[in-house]
A = this chain, B = another copy of it.
Amino acid sequence: MVTAKVWVLKKHFQGFPKPSDFDLKKIELPSLQDGELLLESVFLSVDPYMRPYSQRDMKEGDVMIGTQVARIVESKNPAFAAGAFVVANSGWRSHFISDGKGLHLLPSSWPESLPKSLALGTVGMPGLTAYFGLFEVCKMKPGETVLVNAAAGAVGSVVGQLAKIGGCKVVGCAGSDDKVAYLKKIGFDEAFNYKTVTSLDEALSKASPDGYDCFFDNVGGEFSSIAINHMKKHGRIAVCGAISQYNDSVPQKGPYVQIPMIFKELRMEGFIVTSWNNRREEGQKALLKWVLEGKVKFHEQVTEGFENMPAAFIGMLRGENLGKAIVKV
């Protein structure tokens, strides 16, 4: 008999999530049936999307949504061997039973030297989000200038490095001097701390006086409203996230976008990485190759202990992480 720990949404978030919105519960798992597997989570992911998606898709009492790298403890399913590692989308659980559907085995080319947690970050959903957002939504071309915000985060840090690989100039912005130093270290051409610049407008002008062809937006809100005025004609805006808005109790307002959209013939597109599920393998292979070649560097902010998931999630929403926020069980 295995006892799983699970984190439950006790109360829908009102404004910024609080520790008391979560409840840690224990669930006794039944014995395996034929075709089933028992898994234990090794690394769990906390991501910005969980904030708006919990609001939209969950009810109070549900296990928090989320993804993990898990080890197969026991298998009654011939397609999966005990000891193997998979990426699962099973929520905030220490252990769980699966029928194998929706599990992704770690690529066979995964080297021993590489942390398996990267399958939740640079070589996982956030990396793929950067990959498809930049190449397919922005349709970035060599020689262009790319702007990315929340640039030291799980997605933004990959965006900037992929844009460099693609022959672009990259401007990133983040919320601390340490993060800015990190961005410069991993190859961003220009980087600044949006919290300490006297004017975001001036900082954007200075970083690229000619403006921006592509804007990979993870933040939304006021940042986007200012950045739109710095787009070049026929610029493309990939709307990936809106972390500045996720915790609003009352939706914020900003200037309407229509006039700059028309004058500069801009394209703005919201996207979700699952739209490219059929090309997941292609993206993951490319990202893994670049990581192994050292062309894409990674950084993880690892919180130890399953019981610290809410704290890791809240910290990530506050922007306390550099790179990918991971919880190690």
Contact = CB atoms under 8 A, between A and B. Distances in A.
Interface of A: 52, 56, 217, 220-221, 224-225, 239-242, 245, 251-272, 275
Describe A's contact surface by its main secondary structure. Answer: mixed
Contacts of A245: 256, 258-259
A242 B262 CA distance: 9
A264 B256 contact: no
Contacts of A259: 52, 220, 242, 245
Q: How many copies does the complex hold?
A: 2
A261 to B, nearest CB: 3
Nearest to A52: B259
29 contacts: A52-B259, A220-B256, A220-B258, A220-B259, A224-B258, A239-B258, A240-B262, A241-B258, A241-B262, A242-B256, A242-B258, A242-B259, A245-B259, A251-B255, A252-B255, A253-B253, A253-B255, A254-B254, A254-B256, A261-B269, A262-B270, A262-B272, A265-B272, A266-B269, A266-B270, A267-B267, A267-B268, A268-B268, A268-B269
Contact of A270 (B217, B220, B264, B270): B264
**In this complex, which of A221, A240, A242 has the most chain B Cβ atoms within 10 angstroms of its Cβ?**
A242
